Homo-oligomer: A and B are copies of this chain.
Amino acid sequence: MAASGWKGFFLSAFDYKTEKYVIANNKKVGVLYRLVQLAIIGYIIGWVFFTKKGYQETEESIESSVMTKLKGVSFTNTSDMGIHLWGPEDYVIPPQGEKVFFIITNFIETPNQMLGYCAESIKVPDGRCRQNTDCPEGETVLAGHGIKSGRCLKKHWNSTGTCEIYGWCPVERVNQCFVLPRVPLLGRAENFTVYIKNFIRFPRFEFSKSNVLNTTDDQYLKKCLYDRTQHPYCPIFRLGDLVSWAGHSFQNMAVAGGSIGVIIEWNCDLDKGYDSCHPHYSFTRLDMSSTANSVTSGYNFRNARYYKNSAGQTYRSLLKVYGIRFDILVHGKAGKFNIIPTLINIGSGLALMGAGAFFCDLVLLYLMKKSTFYREKKFEPAKRRCVHDISFYDACKDFFCCFL
């Protein structure tokens, strides 16, 4: 048995065996089946291949390097500093042109601080006291400015005072409402420009490009200013525009600070070649929670400059700077024709045809009027209806067929 089985198997290896079909002259199901086929073919060609580019291998891990450079000067006139001129070396932090940079738009200066003893600010809850025991010596003031010295300083014996601390004195004026200028000191920063240089690379395709327009005109990059319509590929941006495109007012944001995201999107179809791959810029605010929350909005930090006087004592001027932080976020996708996704999509599409046929069979065999008949035609019983053994049966079958 098995032996002859294998024999037959090898003999027939090169006979082409084709599935036997039963023709059910049933136009209803026939049309239904064609519709299913059309739908599947339409889905594969129209949706998978045209809309979703299913024939492409895509790469989403983009390598990006960003350099920024700011231009513009402005001056401030404050009681402490007098007239002070601000250049990029002052108002950009850090100055070396990172992908994340911060522009000072407003500040509170506390000049000439020295280490010593003075009263904690009344605004610090933990710094208030009624008697000395409220100020245990050596304890740091929570969210405060120094170490408690053990004494409670108050104007009048039964008033509430503040602990004396050891720290940088005089302490910074805390409360924004009084001190923070409502008109940003560096409001002119709105007109500063930033030159964003972005170099990207898709490692899998070994494709790399820069967002700097590849122009022969040296002057273009010196004069141009980004504009969605006129100059979509000019890498120089006005700070005020960046903020307004993100849907906010620079002057309002400049008072307490904020954070803006500049999103550079690279969506490259590498089958179309190098030149069709362009950056697309969009702008969003990063520090807004949907409920305007005082804690989450605004951006500031402290920055100190240290000096030594002729006696060698250290003193500093403390700057609490408010400003706008720009964060350049680069992402991208590149697609290129590749045989594997193509065949996978085609293959699974064909498999869906099988599903279609199965569905139509169900209709034909169980929902049509003549379904019983179709079933019998489709499913041929493999019962042996003769007493003779196979070989003889085979023999006589043909014998009678041919000679009677």
Q: Which residues of B contact A33 (CB under 8 A)?
A: 16
CB distance from A30 to the nearest CB of B (A): 4
Partner of A15, one of B30, B293, B350: B30
Mark contacts of A145-174 with chain B using CB atoms, 8 A cut-off: 1 yes-contact digit, 0 otherwise.
111000000000000000000111000000
CB distance from A7 to the nearest CB of B (A): 11
A188 within 8 A of B: yes
What's the Cα separation between A197 and B327 when bound, in Å? 13
Partner of A388, one of B96, B97, B259, B401: B401
Mark contacts of A385-398 with chain B using CB atoms, 8 A cut-off: 1 yes-contact digit, 0 otherwise.
11110101111111
Using CB atoms, name the residue of chain B closest to A380.
B22
A382–B143 touching, CB < 8 Å: no
What's the Cα separation between A94 and B95 when bound, in Å? 9
Partner of A379, one of B12, B71, B141, B222: B12
Among A128-136, A213-221, A242-250, the one that faces the other chain is A213-221
Among A59-67, A175-183, A225-233, the one that faces the other chain is A59-67
A241 within 8 A of B: no
B355–A346 touching, CB < 8 Å: yes
CB distance from A66 to the nearest CB of B (A): 9
A366–B146 touching, CB < 8 Å: no
CB distance from A110 to the nearest CB of B (A): 11
Q: Which residues of B contact A102 (CB under 8 A)?
A: 96
A67–B325 touching, CB < 8 Å: yes
CB distance from A24 to the nearest CB of B (A): 5
8 Å CB contacts to B: which residues of A24-61? Answer: 24-27, 29-34, 43, 47-48, 52, 54, 59-61
B340–A54 touching, CB < 8 Å: yes
Q: Which residues of B contact A366 (CB under 8 A)?
A: 2, 5-6, 9
Using CB atoms, name the residue of chain B closest to A90.
B304
What's the Cα separation between A287 and B97 when bound, in Å? 14
Give the number of times this chain occurs in the complex, counting copies.
Answer: 3
A343–B43 touching, CB < 8 Å: yes
What's the Cα separation between A31 and B47 when bound, in Å? 36
What's the Cα separation between A52 and B57 when bound, in Å? 12
A273 within 8 A of B: no
A79 within 8 A of B: no
Partner of A395, one of B100, B286, B402: B402
B293–A364 touching, CB < 8 Å: no
A89 within 8 A of B: yes
B5–A291 touching, CB < 8 Å: no
Knowing A18-B361, A98-B100, A350-B355 are in contact, say whether A63-B377 is a contact too (CB < 8 A). no
What's the Cα separation between A290 and B22 when bound, in Å? 66
Mark contacts of A318-334 with chain B using CB atoms, 8 A cut-off: 1 yes-contact digit, 0 otherwise.
10000001010101010
Mark contacts of A347-364 with chain B using CB atoms, 8 A cut-off: 1 yes-contact digit, 0 otherwise.
111111011010011001
Which 7 pairs from chain A and chain B are nearest by CB?
A: A347-B348, A347-B351, A395-B402, A400-B400, A16-B30, A14-B30, A89-B302
